[in-house]
A and B are shown apart, each in its own frame.
Chain A
Amino acid sequence: MRGIHSVFRPAAGLAMLASLVLGACVAYPTITPQGAVQQAASQLQDAQRHYVADYDPESLKQARTKLTDARKALAANQAQRTLDFAQEAKLSVQLGTIRAALARDTANREKVQRQIDAMKQLAGETQ
């Protein structure tokens, strides 16, 4: 009985520690530096293809710079720096995309406003 207790409690502590460590590991998703750079490049390419640069050129320019830095860090085997730069590039692309959507909606709103004004004017003239 005494022997069982002498083994059980330390084992319970270690088991608890192991489960906590595993839980901590789950909270941090893993992505390779190469994968991160590829993701960022793909998102930047999508944004360029859809003319986001016409609305927010600064964000895409910044994204390109960060992506270049990520590639350099990847070539230098600096994993953390690669991940950091790739994340920065993705955030810049995301911001540029949202701003482009905002500019598009603003333009559409102004177009509809012009149409309303034109319809009012034309309707007024034909009365």
Chain B
Amino acid sequence: MTRCTRPCVAVLAVSCAATVFMLSGCATASRWVGITQPDPLAAKAAAQLATLQADPQVAQLAPQALLDAVDAVHDAQHPSDGKEHAHHLAFVAEKRVQIARAITDLKTQHAAYEALLAQRNAMGGGDASITTLAQAMPAPASAPESAPTPVQSPPSATTSPAESAPVPERTPPMRPVAPSIEVAPSPPIAASATGAQAASPSAPIATVEPGNPASSAPAAAAGNGALMTFAATDFDAQGRLASAARDAMYDLLPKFVRAPKAKIVVSGANAAHVTVVRAQLQAFGVPPWRLAERHAGERVTIFMEGATPAP
């Protein structure tokens, strides 16, 4: 062994010790110097992470997000640099866990959506099929043509070419709301369909991967609980339904046909207007024997036979 062994070993030992500090980061060193207790939020994040890890779908649908959550929770449980940084780490851990959960739910929901799309298309097409069925009945006016709006789905999902939503609906926020009304995209409904609002153009919504965000404006429910309320202003001088109101009625048709308490109200005590509205519904494919009326003063309520609309 050479004489320089001892000083060489000493230098190497010092450099290795310094390297250990460097590699483990200041976190370990400062932990040895002063202990920082984990934030209480870290324990909550850890519990949420345990629930997340118990769901096999998360590992399958959001593996990277799950890994990020695991790392973040680990960092939160071993904090340094004081209470404020510990709270920050705990906040980050909680958010990472929530993001992993949200991504999993999003991918699950999107898969269900695509399956339904395939089912609808297998039944004979998209919204065009409803128009076709409606046009099979003699109609005084043609069914409205809604401007197709491309639905921008997350980049990881496939979009069927047939899926061009004609009506960019504004969906209600996640809190419970009154039944919403779907409206035509353009032009905005002017002085018609009380309680309806024009939908703003939809924009895509960004997901985890860089994508295009999408959304649309929410619509308010009619004050009397009706899907639509027609007044005299919704009819032109010849007593025909205004095109904007007709468009709105077309958009609401699936809801009117399906919802048990759906109703359309015609106010103004004008029998001709009631007849026009019924005729338009028939033009859209609703059989006349399915339509029922209830008269209450100046208001006439039209609903599907067998349904029990609220008074």
Which residues of A are at the interface with B, using a C-beta cutoff of 8 A?
A: 2, 5-6, 9-10, 13-14, 16-17, 20-21, 24, 46-47, 49-52, 54-57, 80-81, 84-85, 87-88, 91-92, 94-95, 97-109, 111-123, 125-126
Contact = CB atoms under 8 A, between A and B. Distances in A.
14 contacts: A5-B8, A13-B12, A47-B213, A49-B203, A80-B85, A87-B92, A91-B92, A92-B95, A108-B151, A114-B254, A120-B123, A121-B257, A126-B285, A126-B287
A103 B258 contact: no
Contacts of B136: 126
B95 A100 contact: no
Contacts of B203: 49-51
Interface stretch (B111-119, B235-243, B263-271): B111-119
- The majority secondary structure among interface residues of chain A is helix
B254 A52 contact: no
Contacts of B254: 114-115, 117-118
B37 interface: no
Nearest to A23: B23
B110 interface: yes
Interface of B: 2-4, 7-8, 11-12, 15-16, 18-19, 22-23, 25, 81, 84-85, 88, 91-92, 95-96, 98-99, 102-103, 105-106, 109-110, 112-113, 116-117, 119-120, 123-124, 126-127, 129-130, 133-134, 136, 151, 153-154, 165, 169-171, 173-174, 200, 203-208, 213-218, 253-255, 257-258, 285-287, 290
B120 A102 contact: no
A105 B102 CA distance: 12
B130 A5 contact: no
Contact of A104 (B15, B171, B208): B171
Of the candidates B91, B206, B218, the one having the most CB atoms from chain A within 10 angstroms of its own CB is B206
Contacts of A13: 8, 11-12, 15-16
Nearest to B213: A50
A94 B208 contact: yes
Nearest to A120: B123
Contacts of A103: 171, 173-174
A109 B110 CA distance: 8
Contacts of B124: 119
- List the 5 shortest-distance A-B pairs measured between CB atoms, nearest first: A50-B213, A51-B215, A118-B254, A107-B171, A9-B8
A97 B113 contact: no
A46 B19 contact: no
A88 B15 contact: no
Contact of A6 (B4, B112, B253): B4
Contact of A10 (B7, B110, B255, B285): B7
Given A9-B8, A112-B120, A116-B116, A104 B91 contact: no
